[in-house]
Structure 1
Amino acid sequence: MEGSELLWGVGAVADRLGIATPTLRTWERRYGIGPSQRTSGGHRRYSETDIRRVQMMNRIVSSGVPAQSAARVALSLDPAGLLAALDSDEPGASRPAHVLATPAESRERIEAAACELDVVGLSDLLSDTMREWGVIGGWVNVLAPSLAHLDLQVAVGAAGEEVRRLARDRVESELRSLSRGFGARFTGVRPVVLTSVEPERESLTLLALEAALAAKGVAAVNLGCAITPGALGAAVGRLAPAAVYVWSMTEDVDWLDAVVADAPPTTSFLLGGEGWAPSRPVVGEGGREAERAPDLLATTDRLITMMQTTPQPG
């Protein structure tokens, strides 16, 4: 898709980001942080991903990390990882001025601590990760891949179930702590409701979403996994939430139609996971349809928008 997008020259990027042109040229020459595209005439141009990489470089350098270390980290992020990291407001505030670990290096350290059943070390690594990268950036680039790799290690017999359980427990504890620490206000606010139809799968993703929303000042009520029609319907009826997010990986959920139909007309519905039909016509009050969200970042942004556009009490 980048071949059809708008491409930017170095001067335009300098004006757009407020970074001096000589600095951009130095970053390109010394560290490879620069344009990856060429025009038909051979002129080098920045794509949107290139620009995000420059933004990431600038953010890390501005926090006191040496340029060489900052470049290593910025270059290690894929396009989705860049988006997730840049979306977080927290990164950079407390980074020490030493060599910063790339996401891959952080994942390796976290997995090693889990395999050694090092509770203190693992907890410290998780805390550092979320402080350095923010909720979404830390989850997308480090925590979720680490947990997935540990699941694979357990499945092939390279690690024990106790390793997986410890890792999930510590990650859960860290995410819950972040949600409490951000202290989203519930009084007089229509929250968003988060839930999953799966018995356990993606429970940590829901916690990550809750923490990410709390970081943005959005109150969320997390109903957890294996939700039943009665429980979700009762919660929606009592809370009249601004939005409801429902995750499913395995199957379309027919009973959701009735929940949507009975919900207040100002409550929006957002579907996550691969269990839903591609164009699911979940129709509620006024002919509205439930929307789809492809990933955690898109989900967070959409729920925030739904919250902002929904009338609040009082």
Structure 2
Amino acid sequence: MLGVPAVTIRSWEARYDIAPPTRSPGRHRRYSSEDIARLRRMQRLIAAGTPAADAARLSAMAPDQSDPPPELPAAEQVAALLADLESFRIDEAGAKLDGCLRQRGLQPAWEDVVAPALRRLQDRFQDSADCIDLETLLADEAARAVDRYTGGRLLGETADSPVLLACCPGERHWLPLKVLQGVLLERGTPAVLLAPDLPLDAVLRAARRASPRAVVLWSLTPRPAQAILRRRLIARGEQTVAAGPGWSPKVGPLTHLDDAVHLLSRL
């Protein structure tokens, strides 16, 4: 109903005393329409950058008194998101990501907030190598937020062949592909995302079963098997699209989300 994980709501209840006053005989929480409205107000406030403790206090006020401030500029959203991760306020980081996706949409949220936050952490890692945990946390939380955002946009029944999105063998960084899938689904283009780091033969079998309009092979860093996989797909007549900085410029890989969406939605 709210698009907020139950563990996050329980955390808010424990920390900020916002649990509903009534429970069923089986001790299940009973939320009134006002309880739900308050949680929605708190959710909007956190998404706009309000600290969770302040959002809990403000959400108890009348709706017109707790309206969230204007959407924060992207740079401030990046800073607030990274501050939550630095302090391991994971539930608040997830709520900020959810709000960012709702307010901006998937592609702008990725380009303006999530990708810049990841680049900040990558730059920091180059300098001090002390933030791999934060980069992993951000990638995991962003992936979960994308799943929540695209949950209502399932592939469904369609006569159209899907785009098949696959990481190259050995590649585990699949967040860009998850974002690409979400944007394609938003725009009505069916897309199927395979799990990361599948063996070469598994990707080939999936392509045979799916009969895709195109196979996108994502690579963040060069891998020995990726060129072999690409050649075998092309030899079978599959429309094969290389994507990511792990490919040689000679194959003309897609390196920008907008270019990938433009190409794949028109195949």
Partner of 1:190: 161
Match of 1:116 among 87, 111, 116: 87
Query: Which residue number in structure 1 is paired with residue 178 of structure 2?
Result: 207
Which of 170, 191, 194 is 2:141 aligned to? Answer: 170
> How many angstroms does 1:293 deviate by?
2.2
The unaligned stretches of length 5 or more in structure 2 are 1-66
Tell whether the 8 Å contact from 1:246 to 1:270 is kept in structure 2 after alignment: yes
Q: Which residue identity lines up with residue 222 of structure 2 in the other structure?
A: T
Closer, same or farther in 2 for the Cα pair 1:275/1:121, shift >3 Å? closer
Shift of 1:245: 0.6
Note if 1:254 corresponds to 2:215.
Answer: no
Amino acid at match of 1:261: A
> Residue 181 of structure 1: CA displacement?
2.3
Contact kept, 8 Å, 1:193 with 1:220, in 2: the verdict is yes
Amino acid at match of 2:264: L
8 Å CA contact 1:194, 1:224 repeated in 2: no
Cα distance in structure 2, aligned partners of 1:114 and 1:197: 29
Query: 8 Å contact 1:151–1:164 — kept in the other structure?
Result: yes
Amino acid at match of 2:146: L
Return the alpha-carbon distance in structure 1 between the equivalents of residues 133 and 250 of structure 2.
40
Structure 1 residue runs of 5 or longer lacking an equivalent are 1-95, 281-290, 307-314
The whole-number CA distance in structure 1 between the counterparts of 2:81 and 2:214 is 34
Could you tell me which amino acid in structure 1 is paired with residue 164 of structure 2?
Answer: V
Superposition pairs for residues 22-61 of structure 1, below 5 Å? none
How far off is 1:172 after superposition? 1.2
1:244 alignment counterpart: 215
For the residues of structure 1 that align with 2:162 and 2:75, how far apart are their CA atoms? 35
What residue is the counterpart of 1:231 in the other structure?
A: 202
For residues 283-313 of structure 1, give each alpha carbon's deviation from its aligned partner in whole angstroms, at most 9, with x where no partner exists: xxxxxxxx6423111101111101xxxxxxx
Which TM-score applies when normalising by structure 1? Answer: 0.57
- The alignment partner of 1:165 has SS state of helix
Find the residue that maps to 1:254 and give its secondary structure: helix
Question: 1:121 offset after TM fit, Å?
Answer: 1.1
CA distance in 2, matches of 1:122, 1:275: 29
CA distance in 2, matches of 1:126, 1:145: 13
Percent of paired sites with the same residue: 23
Letter in 2 for 1:250: P
Contact 1:213–1:300 (Cα < 8 Å) also in 2 = yes
**Aligned partner of 1:168: which letter?**
A
Aligned to 1:293: 254
Question: Aligned partners of 1:103 and 1:255: how far apart in 2?
Answer: 38
Letter in 2 for 1:301: H
TM-score normalised per structure 2: 0.66
